[in-house]
Structure 1
Amino acid sequence: MSALDDEIGDLMRFAAQRSMLPRFRQLAAHDIEMKGANDPVTIVDREVEAFLTEALTRLAPGVAVVGEEAAHADPAVLDALSGQCWIIDPLDGTANFSEGREPFGIIVALADAGRAVAGWIYDPLRERFCHARSGEGAFVDGTRIAARTTGQQPPVTAVSRLFLTPEESRDVDARLAPHYTLVDIPRCAAEQYPRLALGENDISSFKRTLAWDHAAGVLWLNEAGGKAARIDGSDYRVDEQDRPDLVGASSPAIWDEFIARITV
């Protein structure tokens, strides 16, 4: 791993050990607030984001920081996504964490001109550290990996229904159930992207494509040899996060087959 990978990994581990793990299944009611439907925020989200924002600013003065909670408080923060910036999801899987369930994790990405150029995903319970840089491959705990499929027929497809209308959910079943084994998403991008490369899931479609959830994972999966892209085949950009049409797959062939089925 490079010095930067080591530095980011150390920061994520420290944040998890100091703020996250001691509070897992120990949150009080006043430690949790709701930003919207199905969208909680905890004291851990805010504490980890503050720590990482300060640390990354020291590491690279002059590079903007776009944190999930900062952007919620001030949407103008999102303007920095078109330039060079750090992107932070301080507690990915907050809903799981706030309910005392796993998985959850920390995600950091570095982007430039709207595209992720490096990404880091940390699972504090498994102590799994995924990282990637554009053009340099994908790694898990320092070992380069190649995406593998589940090998199952039909392929395993994880579909989020959280933000689907009942009509959209029925349409998903009608289109996909005859051709795929449908499973629930883990409600955690820090877990979903590794599942797509490590032989657990073959496909996942995403309704929400927020930069802090997807910037690092999209880069990591593509660097591993899987495929994550917009339904029209265009690259995911961190500054186009309002588009609801992102699909990740364990291989380009499986991605192509899935897109052909859903765009008929």
Structure 2
Amino acid sequence: MTATDHMAAFLTRQPRRRVDFDALAGAADARDSSLATSPRRRRILADAAHTLAHRGLITLPKGTDGWDHSAHPPLPRWVQRPAAPRPPSHRPRPHAYFEQLRFTTTLRLTAGDHALLGPVNALLRDDPDAEIIPLADRSYQLYGDEKRLKDIERHHLVTKGLLDVTAHLRARPTPSRAWGRRGWGRRGVRAARAPGRTAACGTSPRSSRPGCGTDSRPRPRTWGSRGVRPHRRPGPESFPCHERCGTPSHAEVGSSG
């Protein structure tokens, strides 16, 4: 084997693209002990570098800084291996879609889109007037998974108006999540809360007299374990209603009537 073959074998074992030329020369010297002491060593290495570049195994430096001009002929300081070829991109094979899915011919669909439209296309071809059934049942029939079409309303084909759940999937859309939510009405409107003891000033829900909305019924007295009434700090209920919230008292209402 020549020095070129030894250097080519060394290049195949390198993980990086850029390789120092001294490492290449050392690999050639290790395979041929007479090359290290040969007076034509520099010429042999230079010819091997140009042969590897001609084969397309390396790329030589273009600028003068990448060459060693200390002797003749000049040698490259480094070489660069070509980039690995990219694997061919996988393109989905063409599909023959039914007339109702003719929009697919004008769009660039992904593999996931084809996986979604394949069973739908078979349904429209074999049973175009299929009975409209719940979406979960249709999902299980087409894909073997009742949750496959759970969020189909968010799919870009549906949001763009190209794929229709009723016309193409022959299924009933999933009802809105706002329906049946706890604390909400049948139309998605939050139900009003019944007035309680802390209602706004007006007629109390527990009394027909006008007041501030607090319970005006007398509360039972509570006594301690020894028959002594416990000390009780005065609260807002100890003051008349017109002093607490500015509404007229019962006496004023009675006198005005």
Indicate whether the TM-score tops 0.5: no
The alignment's TM-score, normalised by the length of structure 1, stands at 0.23
Higher Cα Rg: structure 1 or 2? 2
Larger relative strand fraction = 1
The alignment's TM-score, normalised by the length of structure 2, stands at 0.23
Higher relative contact order structure (alpha carbons within 8 Å, sequence separation ≥ 6): 1
